[in-house]
A and B are shown apart, each in its own frame.
Chain A
Amino acid sequence: MLSTRTSPPTTPHPVVAVHDGGVVLGGRPVLRGIDLEVRAGEFVALLGANGSGKSTLVRAVTGLLPLARGEVRLFGEPQDSLRDRHRVGYVPQRATAASGVPASVSEVVAAGRLGHRRLLRPLRPVDRRAIADALDVVGLADQARDSVSSLSGGQQQRVLIARALAGQPELLILDEPTAGVDLPHQQALADALGTLKERGVTVLLVAHELGPLAPLVDRVVVVRHGRLAYDGPALAEAGSGSGHAPYLSLVDGHHHAHDHDHPGTGRAHRHDHAPHVAGPLDGSHEGGGRG
């Protein structure tokens, strides 16, 4: 049924393909005219200010939010009819990995194996190996038996990543994994994602700023006002490893413009929102980033 509609399997499909995507939340268009392709093995960072729609975009890609128009394809199949759900690993934006009842680190991570398990069956050795490997990658193998609530915020974030890894996904989608995480833990996170990149996992990551993740990023996509404002190579080298590529200061500057000096006149308003940097952003404003 599916195979007849998709193109021949000889051409490698993009892992993620969003075509003319639009999302409407509570009657308000939040995303519109989104065209985005992520190819196998790419490490793509989705940047944008708060409220720009970057989290909405990945939530639409995972199927948590419905599209008002356009379509999302994962591995060449329409998103909602993808059968092997475990090919997608998702790390939601959460402050904590704990819930109302105590749970050990390995129990939370084991939830990531459900896509591979049959109902009413115990964990198989292959499941246990995947869980152990996932904990190893994020550097929490020693804490497997600890209660998640006893871990620090950064460690809990890595537990959520290990949970997604336990499903051995081909595509890993992370929603702001660095939010509220201090620098040493961001570095540990970057090490884990580096290991995955070497293994050929495709990564789509939402972030406000990249920090230690910058050297891993192949491609940066900037979301502004629900549209793609920039789609191109990462320029981590320009910031000499500190992760301060020009588009990042744009993201921050834009954010501050909203918070503080808001003159109210149309011209000044538009000026604030115009790109402050030359180079990659030239010609990419208003749709240049599409395709």
Chain B
Amino acid sequence: MIDLLGYGFMQRALIAALVTGLAAPVVGVYLVQRRLALMGDGLGHVAVTGVAVGLLTGTSPTWTAVGVAVLGAVLIEVIRERGHTSGDVALALLFYGGIAGGVLLVGLGDQSAARLNQFLFGALTSLGPDDVLAATLLAAVVVVLGIGLAPQLFAVAHDAEFARVNGLSVRGYNLLVAVLAAVTVTVAMRTVGLLLVSALMVVPVATAQQLTRTFRGTLLAAVALGAGASVGGLLLAAWVGLRFDADVATGPTIVLLSLAGFVLTWPIGILVRHRQRVRRPFEDEVPDEHLVADHDHAHGPDCGHVAVPHGDHVDYVHDGHRHAPHGRHYDEH
């Protein structure tokens, strides 16, 4: 295993996996915030045509994919902004057009299906030095803009109307997120593949927000989880492949590892949210009349009953009742 890390292809694969894992959740967090989690998936489909154009014309598929995906991202943003209700249908048309066009073009260019598969499902271990350099540069742009402009992007994604009244260019920032998503898609296509790219954008964010309460915390945790899943998935796939002499695909391993993280944190998230709900202060008014509760034990910090703030005092939730201390007895609230 350690020997494996000495090979150039493995080192390149590690770098590519790391930068992909860092960049994808940075964009993903804004997509999830705007409830556009599937946008990355759509852009992945559109990028297939870009890859095919590159293969057909003999130019670098990475850069043609960037071009076509950015074009698709701008188109999606325009459609979203113009058509309110039919937006998702228009997006679907674009997605299927993208993947159908890509497969058709690859066929025309006499390229084998195996070549296209490298882009659809990733081929980390077949990257050249140029590929790694391109991925690193593009990922750096995504991370710098996504984190540097976080206050603006957060405000626009959180409440576009407020941001507009505040003088922010909502359309400009939305376009920026779309373009960053397109760039991320092309960065990630060699790592996890165009069909799985959205997973690396969305799943770490979904996992992070099970446990976090702040946007900043969610962003940082998602980036850590994304990088961990990418690098971990690559190493896991390599190890299993060596150990059992099996052909383990890295892209799906990365995605499944990321999903495993979500499955593990999900129950914790449910528990945390349940606790929050139970302890949320009661908002109804304190009743004027006193309903004295028949009750013989003293409620306190250690009595085991959930204490919930209610106006200027604390109610204790006891068997579906709410007991409020009053003098030497308890009132029913």
Contacts and interface: CB of A to CB of B under 8 A. Distances in A.
Interface of A: 62-64, 85-86, 88, 90, 92, 94, 99-104, 107-108, 110-112, 114-115, 117, 119-120, 145-147, 150, 152, 154, 160, 163-164, 167, 182-185
Contacts of B164: 63-64
B32 A101 contact: yes
Given A101-B209, A147-B213, A150-B280, A119 B158 contact: no
A92 to B, nearest CB: 5
B168 A114 contact: yes
A100 B154 CA distance: 11
B321 interface: no
Contacts of A90: 161-162, 165-166
B11 interface: no
A88 B168 CA distance: 13
A90 B168 CA distance: 13
B319 interface: no
Nearest to B276: A150
Interface residues of B, number: 38
Interface stretch (B74-82, B105-113, B214-222): B214-222
Given A101-B32, A107-B214, A182-B283, A114 B209 contact: no
B154 A107 contact: yes
B118 interface: no
A101 B35 CA distance: 9
Contacts of B148: 119-120
B166 A104 contact: no
A154 B285 CA distance: 14
Contact of A108 (B158, B165, B168): B158
B300 interface: no
Nearest to B32: A100
A249 B289 CA distance: 32
A104 B214 contact: yes
Interface string B172-215: 00000000000000000000000000000000010001001111
Nearest to B165: A90
A145 B152 CA distance: 20
Given A90-B162, A108-B158, 5 more contacts: A100-B35, A101-B32, A101-B209, A145-B214, A184-B311
Nearest to A110: B151
